[in-house]
Amino acid sequence: MATKVLMEALSPTMEEGRLVEWKKKEGDTVSAGDVLAEVETDKAVMDLVARAGGTLLKQLVTAGTTVPVAEVVAVIGQPGEEVAVEKPAGAKAAAPAPVAPPAPAAQVAAPAAPAPSAAPQTAPAPRPSERIKASPLARKIATERGVDLALVQGSGPDGRIVIKDLESARSGRVAPTAAPAAGAAVAMAPGEAYRDVPLSQIRKTIAKRLVQSIGPVPTFYLTTEVDMERVWDAREALNAGGRKGAEGESPKISFNDIVIKAVASALRQHPACNAWWQEDHIRYWNEVHVSMAVAVEEGLITPVIRYTDQKTLRQISLESRDLAARARERRLTPNEYSGGTFSVSNLGMFDIDQFTAVINPPEAGILAVGTIEQKAVVHEGALVPRRRMRITMSCDHRVIDGATGAAFLRTLKTMLENPLALVW
């Protein structure tokens, strides 16, 4: 008699698993205990083993497919035996709709984890209501590869997505196992504006848990104190040295300009912090666009300095002055205050020692900058007065993990303490 092979709950919290690779082919002889396939759970990649011996008659899902727990993925039986099993309805590759909400099977695994509230465990991720034009073939391929068609630019008639448009995704090989681990470097080709990385199971689990715990944007904070003596001297020197340049007379360079420049340079080194949370994937930006919080009469607005990392301090200074002035006059156009990849908020001028800033979604991080004040610190073995500044980074934990944020902050601190690094 044929035995159905089910997607098993390989961890207590597992609701679905991605079949990474088949270890047995159709027609292979298997005995109980043999590894049939590798499955990526919410925590790790684990083995799916055969519970019965015989011949692997049929694989019902292809590698790369995400399958809810308790769905049939294969059939083991005697050679020549009739296989009367339909494809699993819940398997995403087989479903006709782009995304099937996790099947009721999800509840099978639920008892293991204490439900914190009576609210439904999982709601399908919000989808753009607009219909996506895509050819059936492109849909099938995208579904199997986990490519979100909403993010693909169509080249067919009237922007219809055709196979050709998936080619980059095809060659980019954003394979299931290639999803970056926390803090892993995101390698990008020059000229590429950003790269969308599908969520790995562990990323999904982190996101779901954290949202349940804190709220829609699960934030944590990292604070450090920066020695600003050298920046102080550098700024004095720059402002004293004449402000005439190619762009005309420039205003005095502010500490905030220097912080923005340093943040942009540090982001270039830490693309994992220069990212957007996009519900079902993370968009890692290759371009750096720093938003700066500007207080205006009726509240707050965050104009964006585009390609911040490629601009000189003088350009940043001129541009931030102009943006802030026009922000206060309410003369900014929408594209001037949207599209940032990271924010900087500075309350130093209000003598605030340190504070936490609220993340500006979909950005994943914001830096809160406090005032510079002289403090007694131990410097080179002696107690001396030094100019110090406290900075606090708010991180969206779904994108940035503690160590990732800390590494970024360390780079930023080093840059500010050695401002020559900015021209390095």
Beta strands of 171-323 (E only): which ranges?
A: 194-198, 219-227, 244-245, 248-249, 275-277, 281-285, 290-292, 294-296, 299-301, 304-305
Q: Is 397 a catalytic residue?
A: yes
Q: Are 122 and 103 in contact (CB under 8 A)?
A: no
29 CB contacts (<8 Å, ≥6 apart)?
54, 55, 56
**Which of these ranges, 139-147, 221-229, 366-374, 416-424, lies near another protein under the rule CB under 8 A?**
139-147
Binding-site member from 95, 108, 110, 141 for another protein (CB under 8 A): 141
Q: Does 354 bind another protein (CB under 8 A)?
A: no
CB of 138 to another protein, least distance (A): 6
Q: Does 175 bind another protein (CB under 8 A)?
A: no
Binding positions for another protein, 60-119, rule CB under 8 A: 62
- Please, how many CA atoms are within 13 Å of residue 89, restricted to the half-sphere of its CB? 4
**Which of these ranges, 119-127, 137-145, 274-282, 384-392, lies near another protein under the rule CB under 8 A?**
137-145
Q: Does 140 bind another protein (CB under 8 A)?
A: yes
Binding-site member from 13, 121, 135, 239 for another protein (CB under 8 A): 135
239 CB contacts (<8 Å, ≥6 apart)?
252, 253
Q: Does 406 bind another protein (CB under 8 A)?
A: no
CB of 160 to another protein, least distance (A): 8
C-alpha 71 chain-centroid distance = 30
Please report which helix (H) or strand (E) contains residue 386, including its range.
strand 382-396
Q: Does 157 bind another protein (CB under 8 A)?
A: yes
Q: Does 136 bind another protein (CB under 8 A)?
A: yes
Q: Count residues near another protein (CB under 8 A).
A: 12
- Could you say which DSSP state residue 139 is in? H
385 cis-preceded (ω within 30 degrees of 0): no
**Which of these ranges, 154-162, 213-221, 319-327, 395-403, lies near another protein under the rule CB under 8 A?**
154-162
Find residue 22's DSSP bridge partners: 37
Q: Does 384 bind another protein (CB under 8 A)?
A: no
* Tokens at 92, concatenated: 């995403």
Q: Does 49 bind another protein (CB under 8 A)?
A: no
CB of 95 to another protein, least distance (A): 13
Q: Which residues bind another protein (CB under 8 A)?
A: 62, 135-138, 140-141, 144, 156-157, 162-163
**Catalytic residue ranges:** 397
